[in-house]
Structure 1
Amino acid sequence: MVPTVGDIYCVYVENLQQYAACQVTGLKETGSKGSRQLAAVLQLDWTGDQRPDETELHQMKPLICSFYFWKNRLDHTFVNANVPSNYILAGNIPPLVTEQTNSYSGGWLIGDSLYRQRQWDAIDETRRIRFKKAAADFEEISVGHQMMRRNSSVIRNFKPRSEEDVAELAKLPCLTNIQMDGYSESLIPFLTKEPIINELHITNHGQKSLDLSKSHLTKLVIDVSGLERLTLNTKMKSLNFTGNLPVGLCIDAHEDGKWLTLNVAASLPHINGVPRLDGLHIREITELDLAHLVKRYPELTELRLWGKPGSLIHLESIQHLKALQEFSTYDLFGFIGEQFPNPEQFPKLSKLWLTSLPAEAAKSIKTRYKKAAAAGLELEISKPRKPEWLAENLTNPFRDWDGRDHIKSAHAKKAAQLYKQCLKEIRQLAQSQISNEAIQKQLFSMVENYTQTFNKMDAKTGFIETVEREEIHVVLASLLDQLEQELGNESTIKVSHEALYEVFDQLRDF
């Protein structure tokens, strides 16, 4: 649904536990030949337990943002003109501002700035004044072993070894984000008394238990290796795990994780204490069973999944996530279109982004969700992948090299690319009309290049050990087998396996 200039929309905002409102102040077309329409959306300084009535509508004012580095600015941005399906039209009045905006954002995030402004207003006024005064101070000062501007908001590579090291942070009145390697017992008291600091990245802390319940953090990125218990505060919204996730890690979270979004790598996290988790992001997936995920975290409103690439099992299970509002995948396969639930099974869905997925599934889902998109669903389905792409990427036999301790990422990528190149040559040979002699000549050349490439990769680091040596040979054999299969039994061309293996053995240095 495309709005009309002057329209005021309201939406229930969980963080505020109230309705918030915005106004559409303008419309414009962009893209080639006006292929995309944008709406200028102004956030309003209004909340209510119910939708606004006519009187409230005419009393609404723009939200003036002064939190952190904002200087009494309007939150006025261009977004996709398609109004989300959960937004409610409250009425239409003349635009509250007539100035055009030059800002753009990814979506209708109504209520976000209002929530941040209220959190800012709740901070002691003296502390807020100190922040604003320092915000314009670009003087270089010494903080521990670093030279930084006084108005710096982020400190990186902070390595506290003592209480004095942590005390140095007080020199930065605008500090909101600490990225540290190491730990000091004085960190917790410092975070407790500093309401401005809302983000912490921490590695090599060496702790089995961390209690952040009295901090003011809203985002935590933490290496959980060796951690057994993590106690969070009530404001925490984003939790990102790095390192080796221990089985049975216990998290003490406000309302069992109802307000928390968790970001983890590779697999479904088995964590105690957050059964009501609100959002879940899983990256680097090779295989994920969604039936287990739905059972463990049934109240998810947001689910984002990134493949390595990888496969999804029991995709149809997500139909049981009745509170789901946003669902996105990238580089994930192993399913067909019929397994993806129909629009009516997602009563609250407002965003569906599927990127790099099976071509058949992409076509099926796009067709079934066309009406939902017209009604306000933010739908984006792109990069449909055909079986040939999956063979080169999803089932690439050198995928597993990426992540092995003794193999550099660059070597793993080069091996995977080499396989794709050889596979392409095999397909071209199978479809060519050249003579048997010419095909044999190209095969010898391919095997020579294949072997010499690994020789060069192994020359400096010697990473090819018994397992890798066997894998390289097996992959070569599978390539030759595939050529025979594509040629067919009736072909007069015969692949000379033994002669090609002999070339491989004579040339290899690993």
Structure 2
Amino acid sequence: MRRDQPPRPVDVGDVVAVYSDALGAWTASQITGLDAAAKCAAVLELDWSGPEPATVADLGDVQPLRLTHHSWGGKLSYCNRSWVLPRSFTVIGSLPLLVIEPSYSYASVWGRGEQLARQRHWDSGDREDWNAPNALTCTADELGAEHTPGVVRAGVKHLTVRGITRLDCTRLVASFPDLTRLSLSGNLGTLTSAAALNQLPRLQALTISELFGMDASDCLLPNHVPEIEDVSLYGISADYATAMRKTWRPHVRHGVQLDVRGARKPEWVAANAANPLRDWDGREHIPRTGYRKAVAQYKATRDAFLTEVTGGEDHGNIAEIGRAFGAAFNALDSRTRFIETVEREELFDALEFLADEAQTAAGRDLSAARAALIEGVDSSRDW
């Protein structure tokens, strides 16, 4: 497999087709560009659906899909995606390029007719939000509250569960046996019996984020989940990450998009349970020394705030604690610009986290102190 070519052979101008659950029919896209350095393919979705096409002639006089729903304003459904052509997509031939200009949008997952379904829903005159059929998105609490154990939800094919503290995969699989796409996320939560996911034979995509408790024995096995084409793991147990990477890397050439990042050892999980900036560890544009200094500053601010609010009713120094926090991150950011929109929001989330901790420790409402801290930060920050 040459590194300057996509793992599955495709070329500029190729038209690819895939079955769309959203449309209940097949749909198609054209590859208009390949970028070996970025490992991206520019993918233009087509305004077509129908029976499975054998060749491009079956598409007729096909046109690019233009989006007018919501605020798209007639833009092309056109995006740079991973150049790994998913295994469920088939090359059916080639056409002259329907667009010449490059795409400036990026996404990792290939579209399977969802945008075309949204556009047709809009064109029908229905302005209600379109929801993907057979899909369920919920929090772990909602899943536990609304789902009766032992009741099978066979109609659900796409399941997204957020906010997981602890989840038993054996029970999940028993309740949702027909899943094709599964996304699970938490905040240092725990997955148990993750090997049970091998009992989902139609599974095509698995995303796990910020969940631990899995080890090498929980690895998905190709002969149990033969339709897998997207494995995305972020912030997961190191042993599980190693096993999944080793098992699935040879299948990239067959159309499996593999993305494994943020593998963590148990010691790291234990040490960072109370560190709201832990996601900065290893983030590409944040220097290692910058991360360490950011965590040290956060801890110093947390300790100072806790001392202040538990030392009496007079909180006159809290605004100064906030100003020092803002100034410290001004200095860190001036060396290597790394505080962008996401990091700015995460810093304010970290301040909310420490204020919540302090309120629990103090046993009383700290709304005024919290407001003073934020006001102090805002008065000095440049980020």
Instruction: Quote the Cα distance in structure 1 between the aligned partners of 2:18 and 2:10.
Output: 15
How far has the Cα of 1:268 moved from its partner?
4.4
- Aligned residue among 261, 270, 282 for 2:136: 261
Q: Which has the larger radius of gyration?
A: 1
Match of 2:249 in 1: 370
1:324 aligns with 2:324: no
**1:252-291 superposed matches below 5 A:** 259-266=134-141, 268-269=143-144, 270-271=146-147, 275=153, 276-291=155-170
Q: Which residue, 9, 12, 21 being the options, matches 2:19? A: 12
Letter in 2 for 1:62: P
1:120 corresponds to which of 119, 122, 133: 122
Please say if 1:311 is aligned against 2:187. Answer: no
Amino acid at match of 1:68: H
Give the unaligned 5+ runs of structure 2. 1-7, 277-294, 314-357, 364-383
Q: Does structure 1 residue 458 correspond to structure 2 residue 310?
A: yes
**Structure 2 length-normalised TM:** 0.67
Structure 2 equivalent of residue 107 of structure 1: 109
Secondary structure in structure 1 of the residue aligned to 2:139: strand
| 1:61 corresponding residue in structure 2 | 63
Match of 2:127 in 1: 196
After superposing on structure 2, the runs of 4+ consecutive aligned residues of structure 1 that deviate more than 6 Å are: 450-453
Answer whether contact 1:267 1:288 (CA < 8 A) is retained: no
Deviation at 1:14, TM superposition (A): 0.7
TM-score (norm 1): 0.51
Query: Offset of 1:22 from its aligned partner?
Result: 0.5
Write the deviation string for residues 146-195 of structure 1: whole angstroms up to 9, x where unpaired. Answer: xxxxxxxxxxxxxxxxxxxxxxxxxxxxxxxxxxxxxxxxxxxxxxxxx3
Matched, 1:381 2:260: yes
- Confirm or deny: 8 A CA contact 1:294 1:318 kept in the other structure: yes
**1:428-464 Cα deviation digits (max 9, x unpaired):** xxxxxxxxxxxxxxxxxxxxxx999854443458744
User: Cα offset for 1:313?
Assistant: 0.9
8 A Cα contact 1:43 1:110, kept in partner: no
Partner SS for 2:223 = helix
Quick one: distance in 1 between partners of 2:176 and 2:56? 41
Deviation at 1:283, TM superposition (A): 2.4
Matched, 1:336 2:218: no
CA distance in 2, matches of 1:71, 1:18: 26
**Alpha-carbon deviation of 1:119?**
1.2
User: Which runs of structure 2 are paired with 1:53-202 in the superposition (5 Å)?
Assistant: 53-57=55-59, 59-123=61-125, 195-198=126-129
Residues 1:60 and 1:311: Cα distance change in structure 2 (over 3 Å): same
Post-superposition shift, 1:291? 0.5
Is this contact kept in 1: 2:230–2:258, CA < 8 A? yes
Cα distance in structure 1, aligned partners of 2:92 and 2:272:
49
Offset of residue 87 of structure 1: 0.5
Q: Whole-Å Cα distance in 1 between the matches of residues 104 and 75 of structure 2?
A: 13
Task: Identify if the C-alpha distance between structure 1 residues 64 and 453 changes in structure 2 by more than 3 Å, giving closer, same or farther.
Answer: closer
Q: Deviations over 1:462-495 (max 9, x none)?
A: 74489xxxxxxxxxxxxxxxxxxxxxxxxxxxxx
| Aligned length, in residue pairs | 288
Aligned mates of 2:362, 2:33 — CA distance in 1: 64
Structure 1 pair 57/391, CA: closer, same or farther in 2 (3 Å)? Answer: same
- TM-aligned CA distance change 1:291 to 1:75, over 3 Å: same
Could you say if the C-alpha distance between residues 462 and 290 of structure 1 is closer, same or farther in structure 2, counting changes exceeding 3 Å?
Answer: closer
- Which amino acid in structure 1 is aligned with residue 55 of structure 2? D
Instruction: Write the letter of the residue equivalent to 1:7.
Output: D
Partner of 2:179: 300
Q: Which has the higher contact order (CA 8 A, sep 6+)?
A: 2
Partner of residue 28, structure 1 = 35
CA, structure 1 residues 288+38, in 2 after alignment: closer, same or farther (shift >3 Å)? same
User: Quick check: 2:310–2:362 contact (8 Å CA) kept in 1?
Assistant: no
Partner of 1:3: 10
Given that 1:84 and 1:350 are in contact with CA atoms closer than 8 Å, whether structure 2 keeps it comes out as: yes
Moved more, 12-21 or 298-307: 298-307
- Quick check: 1:266–1:286 contact (8 Å CA) kept in 2? no
**What letter matches 1:13 in structure 2?**
S
Indicate conservation of the 8 Å contact 1:283/1:305, yes or no: yes
Alpha-carbon distance, 1:58 to partner: 6.0
**Kept in 1: contact 2:188–2:269 (CA 8 A):** no
Q: Which digits, 9 at most, give the CA deviation of each residue in 1:368-389, with x for residues without a partner?
A: 1001222221211011112320
Over 3 Å counting, the alpha-carbon distance change for 1:54 and 1:359 in structure 2 is closer
Task: Give the letter aligned to residue 38 of structure 1.
Answer: C
Which residue matches 1:168?
A: none
* Structure-2 separation of matches of 1:318 and 1:465: 43
Q: Which runs of 5+ in 1 are unaligned?
A: 124-194, 199-217, 219-235, 238-257, 399-416, 423-449, 467-510
Q: Distance in 2 between matches of 1:456 and 1:386?
A: 35
> What is the Cα deviation at residue 90 of structure 1?
0.7
Q: Percent identity?
A: 28
C-alpha distance 59-52 of structure 1, shift in aligned 2 (>3 A): farther
Distance in 1 between the 2:96 and 2:227 partners? 31
CA contact (8 A) 1:267 1:285 kept: no
